[in-house]
Structure 1
């Protein structure tokens, strides 16, 4: 509406300006007509040229207006001609656009139509005046005008002058009437606008008042009926309003709560003050949890949030929401306690033990010092469980835990590792000092009465001790060392203390192994494990493509490291399965993008560790890979070492059956290194037998090794297994193996390991360094 009123006002102002412009134009027209008639009368009698010039000059004004009007009345208005005509008519240049627009669009309106008609009526008189001027000019040019002619022309000019003046007055009156109508319209529109604006303002004010009343009612209802605590505070923190929920949370009567301030209901330190000692509301109102004091002085945790409402007329007001979350905190503490404590004894559990050990190890490395970690195992606890029942066993564990807690100093701690195993940490105690304390514990333990039934064995324990110093590699090593010492105490006869003693060289070696393990983990994460391949020559079929996949590690500095530099730590610290997963993933991804190579591939051997075979999740991982890549399954041969298979015979059999069912083959690697090799062969349905390279390497010089290779070959052939010899490093050995009937040869004499990319791309594959022997042509 405001935009519309502004537009109407602008339009009315423009109409008023146009009316003024027409009135001014009419005055120019009338003055020009009068000047023309006077100058023409003088010219009739005098014949002077300056009178003629004055006449022509005066006539240009009404003639200019006439030409402008006729230009606008054309079917296609000539705006340029109209503009020129109005300029010649003496009109102000700023009014010309108004004259053009108003005449084009308003000339047929009732309040302007009469004025236009009167203007048109002057056209004939004006043109007659022009014609008389031309006639007089012609008469004077041919010898002059007679007195009678002059008198006649003067009378005619005077008559035209009187007529045109009357028409000009009528035209002026019509314009004044039009201007009066515009002013009246302006007044009416202005009055209506003021009335409309007033009415709208009243209605809007009433609506705003009703909305504010409704919103205030809703706010008050929400404030007092809310289930969360709500507070209205003044700038100083005084409680101005509080709902019943807030009073219930703090256990106050609502009226009593209104006489308090925020400082009275908050725990000391929760109120945020600025440098002037006033409440710093921007920081105080940040959402968070604050500690409140109930009426009885007890603590209540409240989730707090709020906002400051500022108005010009009033001081700032603070609205705050408070939700009681004390129960959440209690549950969180309970969950945290259960996560770090043993439910049976109340002692800290293994997770918390390892956390505290890591914290102690970090402190020792930073500040120095020595602590003692003790690994305690109850002797003959299984007899208590089996003979008296688990309830008696649980009671014994609780009593023993209480005994240990009572036997330690402030700063020491006791935890339960699981079963009948406990951990005891003696702060600032060397190994010898800890041994003295623990020997006293062992001696007095037999004198303590544990109520666990008649006929139960006497309670005793075996304890292993290890020092916690800056040289310790990590928490896992500490736990393993303490466990080893405890096992040694049991082996030595139980009911005794054994200290873990290891040479500096052994500690350094363990630290280096820990570093190697960390390097392997980072290499897997950073994709720095590389796959190599070493060809396995088929005797009598040199075109058969068969190779074993090997793994190498590239250090962050770019140095290539062989498996001998990291595989020992991987296998010793249980990281074999992680490495096997990574190698298999790399191999499958590589072969998936080499379909032409897979088509030519005869067999690809890949090693699997003993740790992986014993883990069901690894078998699930392998079978999933094989199911999703069935075309690769018949090209793969998994290698497991003979010792791994024998030590995990059931798991090995499960793994072999599962992968062979999906088309893969199995190979027993390093065969001959075990103690019962031949006895287990029938239980392991392998497809390939790989002779341990220890027998192969110098079999041409050692008749015993040569006999062992011959025996293994014969057994493999009887069991219909493909026999492969490793570590073939000379042509002489290759000849002897071929003559014995060995079907596959692998070693530097056949081909050195190369990157897998070179093996899978024929253009990059090196020419094979074949062994010069006629034995390759024969059939094994």
Structure 2
């Protein structure tokens, strides 16, 4: 309505030319506004607003506009002009920013320019309260121009190529501002001054011309850019269409209701007979109704959907293919991509199979078994039953060494096949080690598993294997456990392995069943906890050193010698079997710590009781194979023996035959270092392993301890007597003493006397007692008297003279 009033006032005045000009400007404003709305052009919108404000300034400068009455001419003319110029200041700043928005990159400059119209409004408000003679309507407008010039000049943000355009715009603005100020001053003195009216028209024309030139140039550049964008869009559309219809993957476009809009050749070939031109195609008819509804709903809610689908091709060689679906929401459509991932799926399946199966037997590996055991544990939690059967072959390495690794591999495969033949079809069989197998049997109680294991032992152990024309027999231990819900799969496998290890300690093919009751689990977990503790520290508060006497069968038997042995007590001080602690230490790598403890405690005991040590013949201390291959332990042993050098010559370190043969060079180096400290070496369990004369030649042992399996019942076994006699003669020729272990009765002791052995050790004399007890307690030599020899009244060398041999002491 205000705009119509302005037009009516301008056309109804005396100056028809100015009114026509204002009307033309009004038409230009309307055209610019329409163009801005159609083109969505910010510049055109700014131009329309600027033109409207310029028209308002022109209308306000016509004196006849104020001719409605004398009161309005006096009081309202200046206020109307002040409002018009203030509004025009804001529109001019907006036009300036629209024209040069890409050049005004400084955020500080943009914020400063935005404050210019606000400052103009503030100045206008101040001027309204001033007396009439001080009111100049165009002054805020001119002040705004000055502020803009100052800001642009101080920021230096415009490119040089745009400086001319900016100068032209500011020149037109300056001409209009100067004319407006002049007109405001002149109208106050002479309202009908033709010179003021001419100046106002000239200023408007100059500003409109300069701004018009710049706007036209900007609009032409904008039009060229829009044309270029449209051409690029058309090119992109053509390229998209080409790519869409020639893409090597299937593409389907649907609307938000699931109706197919278009598809490419790959989709037509993939869904032949389901996508046809000239009819309404729906995604439900292509993928299935349920899958299509899920796809559309998920794409509309989250913007994307991914899944896989099985598609059967109609070609003879097509078969069933796996396609990956990837659907993306794009505006009002959903773009679906289907990629044939059959080969990738097959590869993933192959890798999955390889990750959970043994490459040799194609049975489950440890990872696959753990997964199956977890499933069995879930079924047990639901009220079912399940058992694990662990099978460990004996001396499999010897089979590899004798018959070759190819034969060993064939044997492993055949063992797995026989296990599958004995166990039910529901059992899941796996290989957890080179010669270790585990079967997870669902719906199987412990009694049923024991019956299966008995049949298994018969087929696996008793029946020989025909491998490359060779008949090979194997032995195996079998451990059985029932699956418990409070045990994880790795713990269950370790539990079954421990039961199998117990079975292998007995005769070949023996079966050990470990229940998952609270008592059995408590003992097993206590052993595991002990092993974990042994990794960091020994339970020395529960460990003690005992000693079992060694009696000289020649010379003076009253000269005490003994072997130190480890013993353990529980929390109440009751003795525990030492095998538990030793087994845990072997499993968790703590044998070196135990050997160090035993040797250090023995040396300290002897050093505290030097008179007792001086009366001893020798003291044997066992060393494990792990310790002999531990350089740090060997350094500690050397340091301990050097620290207790006064009693070190009484020490005789025992190493087993198998350990000595494992690394002959390292063992010989250790023996030489011990000899340099006066320490003697004993070979323990001689005859129990693969005896070799070569290592007797390489290792200068002072004492050979015959394994107890040849001593128990020797009085009734002539073959053992022949073996022991041969070992004694061999030791005699090598300059070593000979000791018989596990002498349990007088009859065996009498036989050993007849075989002329040097020393005897066993329960016939005493069990192991705390080492402190032997400080005062003599050895009971009555079994020696009952065996046919009387103890000597004093130390005598007569026996050595009678037999023409050295004194039967362990040689240094």
Q: Shorter chain as normaliser: what TM range?
A: 0.3 to 0.5
Q: TM-score, normalised by structure 2?
A: 0.46
Larger radius of gyration: 1
